[in-house]
Structure 1
Amino acid sequence: MNKTNLQSNILLLITAAIWGFAFVFQRTGMDHVGPFTFNAARFALGTLSLIPVWWWFSSRAKEKSSSKVFYYGLVAGVFLFTGSTFQQVGIQYTTAGKAGFITGLYIVIVPIFALFMGQYTRKETWIGSTLALIGLYLLSVTDDLTIEYGDTLILIGALFWAGHVLVIAKYSPHVSAISLSVVQFAVCALLSFITALFTETIEVPNILLAGEAILFTGILSVGIAYTLQVIAQQNAHPAHAAIILSLEALFAAIGGWLLLNEVLSLKAQIGCTLMLLGMVVSQIKLFKIPSTIGEKPTIG
């Protein structure tokens, strides 16, 4: 591994840590404001924090200018809004650690969705998905064989996070990545604010009380972490990047333990281990022969 790749991997590890610890602040923020108010504030702040980054990149590189960025950003923003809504509402009824691991399932969901789009899925993905599914059972399914309410919402959110990844993969090659992000974050903030107007009571004092959580998830999680990811993935190996970013779930569990005194049962710990293993296995190459023969591209 050369110095450039090492630096990229370190930046990705920092990104995963920020995103993982963000689950803690997403949970504590709910002590003062509703989920839609919280998302509106943090994505608005994230949008503002990315504008200087967008200006910096556009002034130093040949920008891919396209009027389609607004349409693409709108579509991506709707997926982002839906995924973040289920996640933010669900995290009120579960732990930060569990939310992190369940959300991380989008890593194995993406290639399964891609299968229905005409792209074959590798054997490693099916093995990883099986391990993750067993882990999810141990983590979230209760003794009476029902999945807990908060975990269900987080899982539904993971489906939309997977859809969001596919949308970004489809649209980002055609427009500036930074511009697309600014638009999608703004769309998510606007949709969250409109929903909050009709479902919640927006009070400035309560927003200020949730200020620490909003600042962390808005500036660090959205602005800084996204920028680090963009810089790092210019030189990082895609599979290595996916594996490192999957550690977000582990950092979420560590954050919940350190800051919220969340303790997982032995059964849940085994479930988390299997889920993390499944995320990693789905991203590495174990077999030389693909699962489906053909000329179609592979995702996962």
Structure 2
Amino acid sequence: MSEAVMRRLAKPLLFLAAFIWGTSFFIMKNTLDAVPPFWLLVFRFTTGAVLLGLFCWKKWRTHFTRDYLWRGGLFGVFLFIAYTTQTFGLTGTTPSKNAFLTATYCVLVPFLAWRVFHRRPDRYNLLAAFLCITGVGLVSLSGDLTVTWGDGLSLFSALFYALHIVAVNRLSGGKDIYLLTTVQFASTALLSLAGGLLFQPFPAGIFTQPEVLWPLAYLCVMATTVALLCQNVGQVWSEPSSASVILSLESVFGVLFSVLFYGDPVSPRLLVGFGLIFIAVLCSETKFSFLRKKNSVSV
């Protein structure tokens, strides 16, 4: 596809990734009751590596070079640390605080990108990050706000999600993103396998439980293979700051699905939070240019 087409598709792909992850919150919670975290990551990323590797099998001969290994491997290391610290952090805090603290990567990305790309974030990037994290806080946080070790791990995961976003933007130029993503999946799977073999028993019993296998299949195919590929492709053709704001909608979609399908109450605070996040996305994507045009016409 042409560059112009890819730039038009980038933001919808990022929105799709956030949407899929939002639908997977309750599926992940139920699946973790039967599958230990490391082995869940093994299943997810091994499936992703195999499916995507087969999808782009013709490219291995014509495009693959050794530097795909270290680039995709680095993406995989960042993703592995982010996923594992977020998952284990969830055991020491509430799901809402875990979602909120992880979403703080949308604030970290503009400053990491400034360090890597030497492009100072403009006032709209900073305003969008501030509005977004405030909105996510209103949507996600409730009850006891004391700080626990789980909160610390959740915040630590946000740093590596931010590093992953910046690394993909920095190191994907001129490379086939499908091959890079395949190597990323494979490296994350290998690291997860090491963790599983060292620290957790293999959940052999799940293969006789259809009620576990179907949710696991959704997590492997949609929430891993499709969503992460959409994220990586979308990031290549987007600014890191803009991508991070869109991807942070994952937690918002998660709350929205809880309201629609699980009867969670809709409160004024929830509505204000959604409103702030909408304004943050609008600020990030348009820099309020439509307001400036309207003012210039009226003058």
Report TM bin, short chain: 0.7 to 0.9
Counterpart for residue 199 of structure 2:
199
Counterpart for residue 172 of structure 1:
172
> In structure 1, how many angstroms separate the alpha carbons of the residues matched to 2:105 and 2:254?
15
Structure 1 segments unaligned to the other structure (5+ residues): 288-300
Q: Which residue type is aligned with residue 193 of structure 1? A: L
Counterpart for residue 31 of structure 2:
29
Q: Which residue type is aligned with residue 158 of structure 2? A: A
Asked if residue 220 in structure 1 is aligned to residue 219 in structure 2, the reply is no
> In structure 1, how many angstroms separate the alpha carbons of the residues matched to 2:263 and 2:103?
21
Q: Against the structure 1 CA distance between its residues 281 and 67, is the aligned structure 2 distance closer, same or farther, given a 3 Å change threshold?
A: same
Q: Against the structure 1 CA distance between its residues 32 and 243, is the aligned structure 2 distance closer, same or farther, given a 3 Å change threshold?
A: same
How far has the Cα of 1:260 moved from its partner?
5.0
Instruction: Write the deviation string for residues 122-153 of structure 1: whole angstroms up to 9, x where unpaired.
Output: 1112222333444465544865x524654543
SS class of match (2:34): coil
Deviates more, 1:231-240 or 1:32-41: 231-240
Structure 2 segments unaligned to the other structure (5+ residues): 290-299
How far has the Cα of 1:230 moved from its partner?
6.5
Counterpart for residue 18 of structure 1:
20
> In structure 2, how many angstroms separate the alpha carbons of the residues matched to 1:225 and 1:193?
21
The 5 A counterparts of 1:1-300 are 13-55=15-57, 58=59, 64-92=63-91, 93-95=93-95, 99-117=98-116, 118-135=118-135, 138=138, 139-140=140-141, 146-147=146-147, 150-206=150-206, 209=209, 210-228=212-230, 245-259=247-261, 262=264, 267=269, 270-271=272-273, 273-275=275-277, 277-278=279-280, 280-286=282-288
How far has the Cα of 1:83 moved from its partner?
0.5
Q: Against the structure 1 CA distance between its residues 265 and 63, is the aligned structure 2 distance closer, same or farther, given a 3 Å change threshold?
A: farther
Counterpart for residue 296 of structure 2:
none
Instruction: Write the deviation string for residues 12-50 of structure 1: whole angstroms up to 9, x where unpaired.
Output: 544332121122222221111221111111111111121
> In structure 2, how many angstroms separate the alpha carbons of the residues matched to 1:53 and 1:182?
10
TM-score by length of 2: 0.75
> In structure 1, how many angstroms separate the alpha carbons of the residues matched to 2:18 and 2:197?
32
> In structure 1, how many angstroms separate the alpha carbons of the residues matched to 2:57 and 2:89?
35
SS class of match (1:31): coil
Q: Which residue type is aligned with residue 177 of structure 2? A: A
The answer to whether the 8 Å contact 1:141/1:147 transfers is no
Q: Against the structure 1 CA distance between its residues 208 and 254, is the aligned structure 2 distance closer, same or farther, given a 3 Å change threshold?
A: farther
> In structure 2, how many angstroms separate the alpha carbons of the residues matched to 1:133 and 1:148?
20
The answer to whether the 8 Å contact 2:100/2:137 transfers is no
How far has the Cα of 1:160 moved from its partner?
0.6
SS class of match (2:57): helix
How far has the Cα of 1:191 moved from its partner?
0.9
Q: Which residue type is aligned with residue 176 of structure 2? A: S
The answer to whether the 8 Å contact 1:101/1:272 transfers is no
Q: Select the structure that is richer in helix.
A: 2
Matched length = 281
TM-score by length of 1: 0.75
> In structure 1, how many angstroms separate the alpha carbons of the residues matched to 2:5 and 2:254?
28
How far has the Cα of 1:240 moved from its partner?
7.8
> In structure 1, how many angstroms separate the alpha carbons of the residues matched to 2:5 and 2:71?
35
> In structure 2, how many angstroms separate the alpha carbons of the residues matched to 1:18 and 1:149?
28
Q: Against the structure 1 CA distance between its residues 208 and 37, is the aligned structure 2 distance closer, same or farther, given a 3 Å change threshold?
A: farther
The answer to whether the 8 Å contact 1:44/1:189 transfers is yes
> In structure 1, how many angstroms separate the alpha carbons of the residues matched to 2:134 and 2:239?
28
SS class of match (2:33): coil
